Amino acid sequence: MPRGSPMLYPEIEPAYSGWLERPEGHEIYWEELGNPDGIPVVFLHGGPGAGMSPNARRFFDPDKYRVILHDQRGAGKSRPFGSLENNTTDHLIGDIEALRKDRGIDKWLVFGGSWGSTLSLAYGQAHPERALGFVLRGIFLCRDQEIDWFMDGMGKIFAEAEKKFLAAVGFDRNPGSAALLKRFGDVFAGKEGEAAAIAAARAWSGFEATCCTLLPDDSLVEDFESDGIALALARLEHHYFVNKGFFTPDQLLRNMNRISHLPARIIQGRYDIVCPPVSAFDLHATWPGAEMNIVEDAGHAASEPGIVRELVRATNSFNGTGFDKN
């Protein structure tokens, strides 16, 4: 996210942080900041596996909100890093609930983008009584067509980036989603050695980052290709893709009746290549009370100015029970 952007709140350090021990051998890193008496909000990062950026703290007015952030299993500072063991959507939902109880929060606003939007919906549908509302960006419903698009669609727009993506696992043309997922799975499993697995992870993450923004952002690609992101992001995304998010077909849309009474803002880049707008429209069709904002000059990334503007507008306008008109 651009430093000094007037749309973001100033940089802020957490007031509290720590690791939440979970019974399956994971330790979940969390942070808390803002007003201890403010509106509670939980930030759910993307990926899965991307971890949280310090800039994630800056979407929220620290005088208004009590902000809780955490690195999901295997990501960021959570331990063990990159672990696939006991790492499913239900586990992640359980971690969110355990964190809510640990921090002594009754209900909170749920904020998530990309995979974070997926997890926000899944968490809300599992625990609707704990959600005050939702702010969702770059909608991803983890359906077959969305996974297939990631593996065998984005490259139709970003052909140069796809060439590097495919070359990392020995292809000169895309063999299709299923074959490509299998090939990456073999490499990530170490069948060609650790160096090949690391190179494939960097290629996967770099491909995604390249496709994330309307205009090129070399710093985002560099971040995604770093060891702190690439090795967890690629392996965990592959893990969740192969397992179809641990959802049944159309599960998130079929269960919308559990949360459709709650207020929501859906923020979607018009030129989002990673998570095309059709998913946002499909979600909105099941949630007519939600407000959907299409950002006409943005792609997928939360760092793009138009996306930042709408996310901050959404958090500024939430009053604890709904969104004020602005």
Residues with catalytic roles: 114, 272, 300
Give the amino acid at 122: A
Per DSSP, helices labelled H in the chain are 89-102, 115-126, 144-152, 159-167, 177-188, 194-212, 218-224, 227-242, 251-254, 278-285, 305-317
Q: Both tokens of residue 40?
A: 């509670």
Edge-to-edge strand ranges of the sheet holding 291-295 = 16-21, 27-34, 65-70, 39-44, 108-113, 131-137, 264-269, 291-295
CA distance 201 to 204: 5
> Phi then psi for 112, rounded to 5 degrees?
-155, 150
CA atoms within 13 A on the CB side of 247: 25
Tell me which residue has tokens 């000169």.
172
| Residue in the block written with tokens 């207020």 | 263
CA distances to 76, 117, 245 from 273, rounded to whole Å, are 25, 16, 20
Query: Can you say whether the dihedral through the CA atoms of 271, 280, 42, 209 is positive or negative?
Result: negative
**CA 2 to chain centroid:** 19
Question: Alpha-carbon distance 110 to 121, whole Å?
Answer: 9
Count the neighbouring beta carbons within 10 Å of the beta carbon of residue 111. Answer: 30
Q: Are strands 39-44 and 108-113 parallel, antiparallel or unpaired?
A: parallel
What would the two tokens of residue 99 be? 């964190």
Amino acid at 190: G
